[in-house]
Structure 1
């Protein structure tokens, strides 16, 4: 609901919301796991909107600030190395900033209502269905492997790997996650999303990247 912008504009929007509504907590939920990418991983996924929201929320003076990631494995087609995600989770655990995992399990009222809400939205957005939401809800319902529940994925060339890990919600301290973004100073005054993207690219051009690492099977 916030207009796309650079870090400065998104930060101002978050501050206005916090002051207007007197909020006492914020939870950022990432559909996928690329929000935890720090900048030196082999692939960052789609970081621009994620990291501008992350740094905007970090600037808020509210008692509770949390991050949640749901959809482990979904970002693979955007180049995210999930061994790097797990490495980053471990690093946050050392900082006491990893708050654990819970499952989106059908039969829990909140989960059932969320599944119904996603199904309603998917039906009313033909051609624009959320692949991320479809993957997570399919995983929650027990689907596995190359399961394609929405038209947008039925003709896709990439094989899907729907699995139970996609319906797990991982929780973290927001300030700790934001503090590990290596290029945060480079984008803190960016005026547009394009400036954010260019700054990230320039940063990655001058550092050594972590090599891709497969998860042992």
Structure 2
């Protein structure tokens, strides 16, 4: 049991020496883990970054692969590709003097993703993994009114849930509220967090203050990514960054949100932390995707589960 002044997430990681921080849901998810990764680096930890990727990894040369389904992305990778969040992050890391390698996993099913994680863990003798979701759909167990976009997130959870030999496997979620535009009911998210607390799997929440070194660097990294990926900037990280800056309400930072009303608010800048095995144990369909090899299999298995399940009715915040 920790004291109130001790952060439970960092307490779990205190004895770890080689930590992998990985984006669960593709796109710019790894950026959501950047403040945490930088804090661990500043504590003297060896930190490695990885991301389930939406980038065109198949075009990378053979020497860019550390193992099957495990790409090594550097600041100079695939210069011809305009959309490549992992490379953009590697460029930002090099610019600030940090280790500038970001590993990338193709969008596969659970079995090949687990093998790729295993290869990466063995490559660096990793003793802790923190899986990061920009948003909250990673916290949904399957019977909610809407699941958002769970395929990549829960593939990542399933891949790590059965990966033995790692003392600490954790999940952090940041960007509370951003998934409302994908049909997620956030009262049900809070209900799930309460259930995880009862199970002993909830490790509390903490903010990303802009007055911290890590908060300021995160804002710089998001601005850098927006500048270098103007056609497809991250709505999630743009919203989180706006919340870190203290913005509120319908904040505009990209034409991609034209026609919708955003609700940027301080809750978006909170990290919610969880024990990964405990979170995985509450997912009602994780066993159905366990033997998948392709992402489209994950999608169809979840759809089949939803057809056979009675969903909990959505609830509204009292006001």
TM category, shorter? over 0.9
Distance 1:59 1:17 in 2: 15
Distance 2:278 2:205 in 1: 17
If the length of structure 1 is used for normalisation, what is the TM-score?
0.97
Shift in Å, 1:59 = 1.9
After superposition, what is the alpha-carbon deviation per residue over 1:139-178, rounded to whole angstroms, capped at 9, x for unaligned? Answer: 110111111112322xx21111011111111001011111
Number of the residue aligned with 2:162? 59
Contact 2:204 2:273 in 1 (8 A): yes
Aligned counterpart in structure 1 of residue 252 of structure 2, from 145, 148, 158 = 148
Contact 2:157 2:276 in 1 (8 A): yes
- Does residue 2 (structure 1) correspond to residue 2 (structure 2)? The answer is no
Aligned counterpart in structure 2 of residue 100 of structure 1, from 204, 211, 227 = 204
Q: What's the secondary structure of 2:274's corresponding residue?
A: strand
Distance 1:163 1:110 in 2: 20
If the length of structure 2 is used for normalisation, what is the TM-score?
0.66
Q: What's the secondary structure of 1:18's corresponding residue?
A: helix
Aligned counterpart in structure 1 of residue 238 of structure 2, from 126, 129, 134 = 134
Structure 2 portions without partners, runs of 5+:
1-103
Q: What's the secondary structure of 1:117's corresponding residue?
A: helix
The count of residues paired between Structure 1 and Structure 2 equals: 215
The runs of 4+ residues in structure 1 deviating greater than 2 Å are 150-153
CA RMSD after TM alignment: 0.8
Number of the residue aligned with 1:114? 218
Structure 1 portions without partners, runs of 5+:
none
Shift in Å, 1:198 = 0.5
Number of the residue aligned with 2:301? 199
After superposition, what is the alpha-carbon deviation per residue over 1:155-213, rounded to whole angstroms, capped at 9, x for unaligned? Answer: x2111101111111100101111111101111100111111010001011111110111
Number of the residue aligned with 2:145? 42
